[in-house]
Every structure is written in C-alpha cells, then in structure tokens.
Amino acid sequence: MQLMSPFPLKSFNTFGLDAQAKMGFVLNNEAELDALRGSAWWSDSQPRLLIGEGSNILFTTDFDGLVIVNRLKGISVQETADAWLLHVAAGENWPALIQWMLQHQMPGMENLALIPGTVGAAPVQNIGAYGVEFCQFCEYVDTWHFADGHRQRYSAAACQFGYRDSLFKHELHDEVIIIAVGLRIPKQWQPVVEYGPLKALGANATAEQIFMTVCELRQSKLPDPSLLGNAGSFFKNPVVSATQAAVLKQQHPAIPCFAAGEGLNKLAAGWLIDQAGLKGFSLGNAGVHRDQALVLVNLGNASAAEILQLAKHVASTVKQQFTVQLEPEVRFIGKSGEINSLQAIQ
C-alpha cells in the first residue's frame, strides 16, 4: 500500500478535471484494506471516497479526505446445468468483462457493452442500456465495511435495485467498499432487441451481432474521454406521470416516451436537450456535445464551476420549455463527499 499526500485526481476522473485529494492510494488486494485500518493514516472521522475508473463522477472541488482507487482483479466461473455463475472482482474493467464473457460463450449481457467503468460501479448505479439492466443478472454483492473491517455478502434482493439506484447509494453510501459481485448468466439465451436501434437486427440476431451493434452505437454517440473529457450520459432519463406525458405528447408529438411502471412514463433526456437547442452549446470551456446532447464535455481545461454552470443552464432551459426537471446521473463529489446533484444544479 503506497499512500500519497496530496493525491492528484486528474487521471482518475474521465472529465479530466484538475482536482486533488488530501490523501489516497491504489487498492490492488483486499489485505491492503485491513492494513489501512491499522495504519496511522486511518481515521474514522475523515471523509473517504472509493473510485473505480472515475467515469461517472464530477469533482466540484478538491476532496478533503482519503481516496481509494479500486483495482482489485480476478474472475472465477462455476457451471450448473442451466447457468454460469461468475465471481468478479470489483476492480475489473466492465467493457472488458462483457467482451470476455462473449469470447467464452457466455451471452446475455451484450446489451451492456462499452458502458465505462469498473465492475464495482455496476451495482451502485444498477447500470442499464438497450433494454437490459445489471440487476437481471446479479446474484450477490460482496462488501468490506469501513466501520470495523468486516466483510458481508448482500443478496440481489437486499441490494434494493431500482432505476439507476441501489442500497449502495443510500443506507450503505460511504459505508462500504464493493470488493466483488456475483453474476448468474442463464444458458437459455434470448436476444433483447426491442430497443429502437436494435430492432433492425430482428428476433434471430446473435449475441455477437448485438454486441457489435451496441458498440457501434455507443462509439458513434459518445466521445472518447481520452480525447474529450466527459462522464458519459450526464442526465437521467426523466420519469413523469402518465398525465404529464400525455400533455407533452399533445404539445410535442415526436417526443420519445416509454412506459415506466403503473401511471409513469420515461422521457428521453437527450431529445429534450436537443429540442431545447442546446446541442453544441458551450459556456467557457464546458460544452454540450455536438453529436450527443446528453453528454457534457470538457472542451479543454474546463473548471468544475464551468461544468456546473453549464449543467444548471441545460436543466433550467429544459424545465422552462418542457416543465420537466432533469436530474444528473453523474455523481457530484464535494469537499467532504458526495453532494446532492439535483440541488447543485437548481
């Protein structure tokens, strides 16, 4: 364990913001967590933050605490008559895992290809794309608790998965480090091609065809963070009442609208931002991507204040035109930890 103080964060957030933490280290094995608790660096009262690949965070300022960069590695597989059971370390790269599974003839999660980040971030956000969500395959999540260093396994049911939501964003927020996840991949595979761009593949699509199509779609829509700093989709797709959705459909017949449970509809945040005339809009060194309105980008040495100002402008413009409140999907990190992102842009 090699602790650094201060700990530079620019290479650990895909927005490329030049922030730093009071201290930090890269976690390569679980034993380092136990060693940390016994070291002079440890304090129960200090702020702490776990980072995977920093692909879904916005540092609003320097972080006055301990940062742990999760690089735990390892994949093991057990096989039953009807499924493959995977135990995957939280520091594994998510896109690489999906590709590895296909290479080993374990289809099922190909719709989640190229979602940036680590495996440990997947249950926190309950990541999803193109009609598939992480929770559909999760069997358990293994954790290490800051309070006393004990390890605990949470079943999928205990994780309280919701739309881009989980127990790890609420009761266990800042209380645990996710060290591994368990996945169950059914051998009886069916293609999921109901989402618009995938419909053209048809019901006989192969997993490899879906994987390649999803990769092409994401690469065509999302800029490479190594070339243009960003955190992927900045805003969640808003969920509104069926009544409000009906009014919006009457006013804007082309608005994308999908059922989202009893009495609820989900709207496309990117469409709302685009229709508000904000695609390609910029404030200082922060901008709305010219090809994908859902992505805010660092146009070069952007400050956190510029990203925040832009997010506020986008949200207020959409609310003014459509009476719909956008909520960030990206996690906002303040001086002492995660802050309420919705409040930060209002």
How far is it, in rounded angstroms, from Cα 205 to Cα 210?
7
Main-chain dihedrals φ then ψ at residue 64, nearest 5 degrees:
-95, 60
Measure the CA–CA gap between 24 and 69, rounded to whole angstroms. 8
Q: Nearest-CA neighbor of 290 among 278, 308, 275, 302?
A: 278
Cα–Cα distances in angstroms (integers) from residue 106 to residues 74, 157, 291, 340, in the given order: 17, 23, 33, 38
Active site residues: 164, 233, 329
Distance CA 89, CA 68 (A): 15
Selection from 139, 194, 132, 141 nearest residue 169 by Cα: 141
Q: Is the peptide bond before 107 cis (omega within 30 degrees of 0)?
A: no
Tokens 């926190």 correspond to: 124
- Six token digits for residue 210: 């879906």
Closest to 86 in 3D by CA, of 139, 164, 11, 15: 139
